[in-house]
Structure 1
């Protein structure tokens, strides 16, 4: 038997105000005068966070457009622009939610690997270590800060660059940075973590490693989304750790039905990942009855509106493509339903699920 030799983030800083140590952390990675590139969500342009990024010498801030899910074409363009302007860089440090985390990891890898990022969508296709890359999450829930993938929408599929070279070299977990996020955005991102846990803990790939992380993440999600009367400062800290543990829970397992369906929604309709997960999860009580029951209670408590009828006006061609995108995510279906998953899921059953959304 061959066991997966999973790479973990080698360095982590945690604590309120820890992001103020970025300059101290970044300085030793400078090489031969090459710049450090900072990625930041475009929502921070002209805001206080951007003014605290320690740009020095020939460093540069690039504000990442997160209005859409990360695309391979966007990754390739930023890579090409950086190579044209600087030739080489010392590293990339990304501030933001899951989209910025994934862009940071992807561009880092593409600075040292030839071709298009679309060539590396899949498992263990990346051959060369990327440039130094660090993540500074400003939203909690995706687990992107700890995962070995960066999910991208390409010309023919939505799929991650899953490799041992993808995880960050450094992560800075500062709960102060997650305060003040828009309510709906924070909820949808938090639900990504909750759904990670439900799918991992109910999957056929479950083992003691995944279970220990998943159970803790689920405990923290339920505490803050179901049991507490209101969100507070401690909640920001709890969800930051839930995100970390939720990401670790799928390191040795996988996600499941909601994520597979969400990938299809994102590819065809451009729906953001966290929102797509919620749209899908809301309709799959037959697969995760207890998890969906609690999810609906969370939605009611936080008064968040889950989009409805998003697939109502799709053409047959669009619906068929959406079904194929979801159906091709074999590891997710196998984790959710077992090795004989094809006896339970086919094009017709997926189409029926999408028609409910």
Structure 2
């Protein structure tokens, strides 16, 4: 008898369960409804459910960082935010995949790429790790030594806002500068030396960029090469090679238009500018991040000055020899 009641109770429960589910999926036809309208309505409801479900499980990809919780790993974060483990390690300057609870893990890079110096690091190890030229790394950070203090944050690339002139401003700037330089070149009132300094000054405040050679950004040797090319003197690309050109000039004998050289981050000539007179020179400065004018009496440049070179005089001498020949 007990079996009979138990069986009956189970049967009733099954019937109730089926009825509830059928009722949940039944669409009652009201006046004015037709099969196409009903199908369209059901499709919208299904889409809404799927959308809500997706919003609950999808991560916010606009988030800058993730605060690590218990159980989080770089692997789990890489899957959650669709980033590779190597990308996360690079963005956060991590050597291992270990993260601690509460640690803020960056999910996207903001600003220029940087690295925080750790114990045992030096400029050579960092340059090798990130495949960057040592001299370039020193120049970007204005470093004077290979030894770095742990905790120091260094840039691995130039800051974006200093790398180039705004795209929409560049054509206007170039047209303006070219027009002014053209006026200097056409003038018969100035010597070649004076033209060099006047042209150089037209390029004041152009952004500095290591390896750059345009109005978007220019380095010291490219600046000198550019200025001299406008008076038809072709110089080598690097300061080291430019130092081999022309005739040597002592500091006391410098004249307008001469090149002045310095040892900054290397044992060889690594910086160059154009002498303006009165102990002033114009150059593309990695310190000021632009083409600027400085004094040879500034302690930094006084200590690193290694000599001057007269370029224009050599060209004039060659022309005289050609005329005699």
Q: Same fold (TM over 0.5)?
A: no
Give the number of the structure whose alpha-carbon radius of gyration is greater.
Answer: 2
Structure scoring higher RCO (CA < 8 A, sep ≥ 6) equals: 1
- Larger helix percent: 1
Normalised by the length of structure 2, the TM-score is: 0.26
Normalised by the length of structure 1, the TM-score is: 0.24
